[in-house]
Chain A
Amino acid sequence: MSIDSPRLHPDIPEGAAVPRVPTWYVDRTAARERFGDAVDSFGPFLMRGDPPADELVAVLNELRPAQANRMLQQALDEGIASVRRPPRAFVQFFRQIDEIPLWLDWDKLDRGGRAVLRTGPLGAVVLACYSLPLSYASPDGSKPLTASGRLVQRASRRLTETARFLVETCRPGGLRRGAEGFKITIRVRLMHAQVRRLLLQRKSWPYERWGIPVNQAYMAGTNVLFSSVLIEGLSKLGYEVPQAERDDIVQLWRYGGLLSGVDSTICAATEAEGLRLIRIIHAVMDPPDDDSRALVKALMEAPLELAKNPAQKAVAQRLVDLLYGLSRHLVGEDLANALAYPRTSWRHIAPVLRGMNMMMNSFQRRVPESRDTLYRFGLEAWERVIENGLAGIPAAFDFRKATVGDQGGPTHAP
C-alpha cells in the first residue's frame, strides 16, 4: 500500500538537504549487536511520514474548514466517487485506502476483534500499564505529544479515546468500509498528518535532528501495541490468548495499521515481527527524557484527574499506586526506574493476578461456551469505560458531533 512520493513532506521545501536518518540515530552499536542489519533498515523510517495523508491534509488546509469537513465526511460515508470534483490528493488517498490486500480475511479479523474485546478490563489495564508506557518511553515518539503541552493534560480523556478507537476497530466488521472503526482509523490518520504538518511548520522542530514527527517507525510501533505487545502483556499477567486467535488479532491490527498509513514494509505481519519491531525500537531509542516521564506520569495518574472530593481522591490514589505497581511488573525494573515510577507495594499484586488469570484460562478451555459470555462482559466493560471517560463530550475524531461552545478538550488518539 505504500506510495512513492518524490517529496518527503509538503512542508519540507523541495530540494532541501534531508539526511537518510535523523542525527540522533548514530552509533547504535548495542542495538546493532542484537539486531544486526535490521537497525540500518529501521533508521530511514524515522524520516518518513505518510505521503498520501500529508498531501491530503495540505489540500484540506487550503479549503474552508466547513468545506474540508463536508468533503471528508462524504468521502468516508459514501465513498470518494460521491464527492463532486474531488481534489487529486483526495482521490489518491481514498484510492489507497480502498485497496483490499489479498491476504485479508474478514472472518479472521472479526475473530481477532472478539478475542481483544473478551479481555475486558484486563485488556484496558495492559493497554494503560504496558502498551502506552512502552510507546511514551521513546523520546522520539513523545515529542509530538508534548510539543504543545496540551496533550500531557487530560490524560484520562486521551486514554478513553484510545479505548474507543480500539473497541470500534474490534467490533465485528469494524474495519469494513463505512464502519465506525474504519472511519475513526482514517480520521486518526489525518490527525497524525495534521500534527506532522503543524510541527514541521514550526521553526522549532529540527527534523534533521529529531526526524519527521509521527514518523513511520513511530506509527508502526504504535500499531503493534494493540496486537503483539497487548498479547505479550496479557501473557505476563497470566492471561493466555489461544494460539489460533493470536494470529487473528495480529491480522486485524495489520490491516488497521495499513489503513492508518503504516507502510507495508514495516507493518508487522506476525506476532513475532511485532515483538521484534518493538524490541528494535527500544534498543535503538535514547533513554526516556523528561517529556516521556511527564507523559507517562499523566497517564498513570489519570484517575486523580477525575476525583472530585477527598474520598474519591483517596480511592484514586490507591488505584494509581496499583497501576504503577502493575506497570513496573510489566515494563520491568529498568524502564520503570528510567520512567521515575514510584515504588509501591502493589507491585506484588501481579503474581496474584497472574494466578487468577491462569484459572480463568483453564476455565475457558474447559467451557468453550464461556467465551461468548466473556465477550459480552468484556465489551460491556470497555463501553462503560468509554461512556464514563467521554462524559458526553465527543471524542477528538468525532468532529461532526462537536458543537460551538463545547468545553471538552478533544485530544489525540491513540
Chain B
Amino acid sequence: MLRDKLSFLGDQDIELLLRSSQRRHVVRGETIVREGQSPEAIFLVQEGFISVRAGGVTVGYFGAGQILGEISFLERRSASATVVAEGDAILNRIDNADLEALLSAHPDLAARFYRSLAVNLSRRVRALSGSLTKLRGQRSHKARYGQLSARHVPSSLIDGLTSVLREVQRVEESLAARRMAPDAAARVVASSCDRVVTLLEEHTTEKALLAISVDDLLTFRDISRLREGVGSFVFRICFALLMSSATIARLYDKPGGVAEDDGTRRAIADADAEGDGLIGPLVDRWFLDRAVCRARRDSRKAMVAEIVRRATEHAGPGSFLVTSIGSGGGDELLDAMDEAGEGVLAATCIDPDPDALRRGNHLASEAGHASAMTFLCAEPLSLSGSGSEIFLGPQHMVYALCFFDYLSDDDAVALLDWIWGHLAPSGTAVWTALGPDLTDLPMMEHLLEWAVVPRDAPAIRALVSRSRFGRAVEVQPLEGSSLHMVTCTRESAP
C-alpha cells in the first residue's frame, strides 16, 4: 500500500525503509505529533486512520499507505498541525537521523524516495490550484456591460426604477427630518423594493425580451444576453440602494467565496436587520422578509425537527449518528441536541469552511456538546473523488441544508452516491431544494449574483433515480415556501 504514495520505490526499497523503522501501535485519541513541536521522524501508516487537526477542526485524514511528517523532514521545521489516531492504528516510525543515514548510504533509493515525495507534493499543489481557480471563479463578479444597447432599455423600466429611487430618496429625507415614523418608512421602502423586483420580472419574461430583440435584430443579441442586459441595467440603477443592506452586501461580496457562506446563513437565520444610513436597515428588513430568506429559515427549522424525530425514533444501540454536509458549523445540530437530550445524538459536520467549523466547535464546547460533535474540514464535492479518505462510520442520517441548491445534477448524483456509501442500512439522506416557482429567483440571479439550481419534484426524482438510491426517494413540499424536503433511503439488502 505504501507504493500508492511512495510510488517510485521498489519492493527492496520499501523493505529497507521498514527495516530502519520501529513498528508502533497507537490507540484511539492518542496524539502522534503535536502542533508546533518537531516530530523528528516520518510516519508510514500501515493500518487505521490518522486525523490531522488544526484549531480543533479536522483538516484531513491519513489512511493506510500514506506518509506523514515528510514536509517537516524536508524543511526541518516543526509540525503545522496535530496528528491524532482516530482509532487503533499501526504506524512505522522512521527517525529523521536514521532516514538520512539510509538515504546517504543508498543514493538510488534516495533519488526514488525524493522523487516520490516531489510527486506527492506536486499532486497537492495541483489540487490546491484547482480549488483556488474554482474559488476565484466563484468570487469574481460578472461583467455588467455590453448585453443590451442603451436605446433598447424599455422606457417603462427606466421610468419605474426612477420613480422607485425618487420615492426612497423622499423617505430618507422624511426620516432625517423626523417627518415619518420608522414603521411607515419601512412599509414604503419595502413596497419600493418590491417594485424593483416586479419590474425586473416583467422585463425579463421571454415575450418582453423578444420584443426588445426584434427591435434591433442586427445587433445579434440572444435572449439570454438581453436577459442579462436588463438584469444588469436594474442592477446598476439600484446598486447603491441594494448595497445599503448588510445582508445583501454580504451576499454580493461573497467574503467566504460563495454567496451563502456561514456568515450569510447566520444573518438570514437571525434575521436582525442591519445596514447603512437610514435606509439600509429598512432594505435589509425587506430582504430578510423575502421568500428566499423565509425558505432558508423554514428549512432549518424543518431539518431540526427531522433530526430530532429520527433520533428519538432510533431504537438501535448507541447514539443516533448524523452527519451534516456543507452546512457550516452545524447550528441546527446544536438545536437538535438541545431538544433531543444528552447522548441521543453523535454528529459530524463536514464543510470546506474552517472558520465555520471552528465557530461550530466553539459553540459546541460552550453548549457542552463538544464530545458528541466532530468537525471535519473537507470540500464535500471532493469526497466522492479518489484519494479523499474520510473516517466516517455508517451513519443513520446524512443531511444537507441548501447545499444541493448549488450542485449541478452530475455533482449532486456523485455526492448522493458518496452519502449512500456512508449510510447504515435504512439510513437516510435528507436535503432541501429550492423550487423553480420561487419568486425571488430573478432578483437572486440579476441583482445579488446568487446563482442556485432550482428543482421541482419531478426533477428531484429524476436526479435521485440516477444515484444509488434509485427510486427510494420521498419529496415533500414545505408548506408556505417554494421548498422541498427530500428524503432518500438506503434500502436494506433483501
- List residues of A whose CB falls within 8 A of some B CB: 57, 60-61, 63-65, 68-69, 72, 147-151, 187, 190-191, 194-195, 197-198, 201-204, 396-397, 399, 402-406, 409-412
The answer to whether A61 touches B210, judged by C-beta atoms less than 8 angstroms apart, is no
Q: Which residue of B lies closest to A204 (CB)?
A: B206
Q: Which residue of A lies closest to B150 (CB)?
A: A404
The answer to whether B146 touches A148, judged by C-beta atoms less than 8 angstroms apart, is no
The answer to whether B223 touches A201, judged by C-beta atoms less than 8 angstroms apart, is yes
Tell which of A61, A150, A191, A406 touches B211, judged by Cβ atoms closer than 8 Å: A150
Smallest beta-carbon distance B156→chain A, Å: 14
Residues of B within 8 A of A411 (CB): 214-215
* Interface of chain B residues 203 through 233 with chain A (CB within 8 A): 206-207, 210-211, 213-225
- List residues of B whose CB falls within 8 A of some A CB: 146, 149-151, 206-207, 210-211, 213-225
The answer to whether A194 touches B218, judged by C-beta atoms less than 8 angstroms apart, is yes
Residues of B within 8 A of A64 (CB): 146
The answer to whether B221 touches A191, judged by C-beta atoms less than 8 angstroms apart, is no
Tell which of A147, A187, A409 touches B218, judged by Cβ atoms closer than 8 Å: A187
Smallest beta-carbon distance A352→chain B, Å: 40
Q: List 18 A-B contacts (CB under 8 A).
A: A65-B221, A68-B219, A148-B213, A149-B211, A150-B210, A150-B211, A190-B217, A191-B217, A194-B220, A195-B214, A195-B217, A198-B223, A399-B219, A403-B151, A404-B149, A405-B151, A411-B214, A411-B215
- Docked pose: A201 CA to B219 CA in angstroms: 17
The answer to whether B218 touches A149, judged by C-beta atoms less than 8 angstroms apart, is no
Smallest beta-carbon distance A152→chain B, Å: 11
Tell which of A194, A203, A404 touches B217, judged by Cβ atoms closer than 8 Å: A194
Smallest beta-carbon distance A170→chain B, Å: 23
**A149-B207 contact given A65-B146, A198-B223, CB 8 Å threshold:** yes
Residues of B within 8 A of A63 (CB): 220
Residues of A within 8 A of B220 (CB): 57, 60-61, 63, 65, 68, 190, 194
Q: Which 8 A-B pairs have the closest CB atoms?
A: A399-B218, A60-B220, A191-B217, A148-B210, A194-B217, A65-B219, A150-B211, A148-B211
The answer to whether A198 touches B210, judged by C-beta atoms less than 8 angstroms apart, is yes
At the interface, is chain B mostly helix, strand, loop or mixed? helix
Smallest beta-carbon distance B420→chain A, Å: 31
Smallest beta-carbon distance A77→chain B, Å: 15
Residues of A within 8 A of B207 (CB): 148-149
Residues of A within 8 A of B210 (CB): 147-148, 150, 198, 202
**A148-B214 contact given A64-B146, A404-B149, CB 8 Å threshold:** yes
The answer to whether B151 touches A412, judged by C-beta atoms less than 8 angstroms apart, is no
Smallest beta-carbon distance A79→chain B, Å: 19
- Docked pose: A57 CA to B218 CA in angstroms: 9
Q: Which residue of A lies closest to B210 (CB)?
A: A148
The answer to whether B149 touches A412, judged by C-beta atoms less than 8 angstroms apart, is no
- Docked pose: A388 CA to B146 CA in angstroms: 33
**A202-B206 contact given A65-B149, A197-B222, CB 8 Å threshold:** yes
Residues of A within 8 A of B222 (CB): 61, 197-198, 201
Residues of A within 8 A of B149 (CB): 65, 404
Residues of A within 8 A of B216 (CB): 396, 399, 402, 410
Residues of B within 8 A of A148 (CB): 207, 210-211, 213-214
- Docked pose: A406 CA to B146 CA in angstroms: 18
The answer to whether A61 touches B221, judged by C-beta atoms less than 8 angstroms apart, is yes
13 extra interchain contacts, Cβ-Cβ under 8 A, other than A61-B221, A150-B211, A412-B217? A60-B220, A61-B220, A61-B222, A68-B219, A190-B217, A191-B217, A191-B218, A194-B213, A195-B214, A201-B224, A399-B216, A406-B151, A409-B215
Residues of A within 8 A of B206 (CB): 202-204
- Docked pose: A68 CA to B221 CA in angstroms: 10
**A150-B214 contact given A65-B146, A204-B206, A406-B151, CB 8 Å threshold:** yes
- Docked pose: A241 CA to B210 CA in angstroms: 42
- Docked pose: A204 CA to B205 CA in angstroms: 12
- Docked pose: A235 CA to B221 CA in angstroms: 43
Residues of B within 8 A of A65 (CB): 146, 149, 219-221
- Docked pose: A350 CA to B346 CA in angstroms: 93
Q: Which residue of B lies closest to A66 (CB)?
A: B146
- Docked pose: A203 CA to B206 CA in angstroms: 9
Residues of B within 8 A of A61 (CB): 220-222, 225
- Docked pose: A36 CA to B146 CA in angstroms: 52
Residues of B within 8 A of A68 (CB): 219-220
Smallest beta-carbon distance A35→chain B, Å: 34
- Docked pose: A151 CA to B213 CA in angstroms: 11
* Best-buried of A148, A150, A202, A396 by chain B (most CB within 10 Å): A148
Residues of B within 8 A of A60 (CB): 220
The answer to whether A404 touches B151, judged by C-beta atoms less than 8 angstroms apart, is yes
- Docked pose: A198 CA to B222 CA in angstroms: 7
Residues of B within 8 A of A190 (CB): 217-218, 220
